[in-house]
Structure 1
Amino acid sequence: MRTTTQDLISVSEAQRRGLSQLINRAAEGKTTVVLKNSEPAAVIVGMDTADRLDRIDELADDLRLLAATIVRLATDDGRRYSLDEVEAELERS
Structure 2
Amino acid sequence: MTVLDHPREVSVTEATQRGVAGIISDAEANDILVTRRNQPVAAIVSIQRIRRIERVLDDVRDLTLAMARAATDDGARISFDDVLAAYGLTRADLDDVEDEP
Q: Paired residue for 1:2?
A: 5
2:41 maps to which residue? 41
Name stretches of at least 5 consecutive residues in structure 1 with no aligned partner. Answer: 79-93
- Separation (CA, whole Å) in 2 of partners of 1:40 and 1:21: 19
Query: Match for residue 63 of structure 1?
Result: 63
Greater helix share, 1 or 2?
1
TM-score normalised by L of structure 2 = 0.64
Measured in 2, the distance between the counterparts of 1:39 and 1:16 equals: 19
Q: Matches of 2:36 and 2:58 in 1, distance apart?
A: 30
What pairs with 1:6-17 in structure 2 (closer than 5 Å)? Answer: 7-17=8-18
Structure 1 stretches of at least 4 aligned residues deviating more than 2 Å after TM superposition:
none
How many pairs does the alignment contain?
Answer: 73
Aligned-partner residue type, residue 50 of structure 1: I
Closer, same or farther in 2 for the Cα pair 1:77/1:49, shift >3 Å? closer
TM-score (norm 1): 0.68
Aligned-residue CA RMSD (Å)? 1.7
Task: Specify the alignment match of 1:85 in structure 2.
Answer: none
Amino acid at match of 2:68: A
Q: List gaps (5 residues or longer) in structure 2.
A: 77-101
- For 2:67 and 2:36, the matched residues in 1 are separated by 39
What is the rounded CA distance, in whole Å, between the counterparts of 2:31 and 2:75 in structure 1? Answer: 51
